[in-house]
Amino acid sequence: MESAPSDRRNEGGKGSVALTGATGFIGGAIAKRLADSGWSVKALVRDLAKANSLARLGVELVHGDLEDTAALRSLLLGVQAVVHCAGVVRGIDLEDFSRINVAGAERLASLAATMDPPPLFVALSSLAAREPQLSHYAASKREGEVALERFAGAMPLTILRPPAVYGPGDKEMLPLLLMMMRQGIAPVLGSAAARFSMLYVEDLAAAIEQSLVVGDSGRGVFALHDGRAGGYTWSAVVDLAARERGKPVRKLAIPRGLLHGLSVVSHHWARLTGTAPMLTPGKVRELTHADWVCDNAEVSRALDWAPQIEFAEGLRRTLAWEQAARQGTEY
């Protein structure tokens, strides 16, 4: 389909955005960022009962999922941009991940590419896509990128690859952070020399919004992180946590063999019960991989974006949110 060329930079950085994955940790932060900044947001929601916070933000809810073509057409109607954040992080086989991370992404992009004019398309991938051999999840994220890139000639496409993301609303990294700050114990997964980048969720949401603002000039695939050059070691994280805690934090090495054994048991149990395990042999390979460091040079040039929240401040904000949630007060 051909369409007249257009300037994709929205006046004032505002417009109408279709959002998937909005009821999740990262998607919820993106929805709040965009709504608070004056964007008109339409969100694809599988379970309307989980979307009360989105409704309070003024987000228009579209009931359906990535396998529902009619719902996707409704989601895309009248928007100037798409932010695709939905994804599967737990599964047993490659198919469990690919059904949404590949086929779902491709279905959404194929419909968006036929619009006249086609919208900006911003997709949230993962740094794991850099190492697709490690796990079914990583492979599906890379395959999802490849599927989306087939439409890059038909619409402006930006793909972001964040590392470990944490912050208010997080459920994956929160137990580790709480163990460090409350029990003074830091489980070390894999080599103590391993290095990894991190990113506070509000900085990621800001990068998503900036992708919408810059439009065409933000085309590409970009990793991004919190600005700490060379990433973190476990020792660096423990030292930062100890300073915030005001007490020592002890590192507890978790042998890779133990992790692998637990993952095999978890994997087999999931097959027997029909559940989706978090700990699998592939996830252990991800967790113990020695290099999850990324660089901001390219993303900063393309999006005119820079992170604002370093780990110490992000840790303080995350713990404040957790305490408020536990006490039933507003963060």
Query: pLDDT of the chain along its 331 residues, tens only?
Result: 222 223 333 344 489 999 999 999 999 999 999 999 999 999 999 999 999 999 999 999 999 999 999 999 999 999 999 999 999 999 999 999 999 999 999 999 999 999 999 999 999 999 999 999 999 999 999 999 999 999 999 999 999 999 999 999 998 899 999 999 999 999 998 888 899 999 999 999 999 999 999 998 899 999 999 999 999 999 999 999 999 999 999 999 998 889 889 888 888 887 888 888 889 999 999 999 999 999 999 999 999 999 999 999 999 999 999 999 888 887 7
User: Domain limits at 91?
Assistant: 14-170+198-226+293-308
CATH of the domain at 202: 3.40.50.720
Q: In this predicted structure, what is the pLDDT of residue 202?
A: 98
Q: What is the DSSP letter of 181?
A: I
In a domain, 5, yes or no: no
In a domain, 182, yes or no: no
Tell me whether residue 327 is in a domain.
no
Type and span of the H or E element at 320 = helix 311-327
**How many distinct structural domains can be found in the chain?**
1
* Residue appearing with tokens 């978090």: 278
Q: Would you call 294 exposed, middle or buried from its count of C-beta atoms within 10 A (0-12, 13-18, 19+)?
A: buried
Residue-level pLDDT at 114? 96
pLDDT at 263: 86
Give CA–CA dist 51/32, Å, rounded. 12
State the CB neighbour count (10 A cutoff) for residue 106.
18
In a domain, 285, yes or no: no
* Residue 246: burial class (beta carbons within 10 Å; 0-12, 13-18, 19+): exposed
Pick left, alpha or beta for residue 121 (phi over 0 → left; psi -120 to 50 → alpha; otherwise beta): beta
pLDDT for 82 equals 98
Our measurement of the distance from residue 4's CA atom to the centroid of its chain's CA atoms, rounded to an integer in Å, reads 33
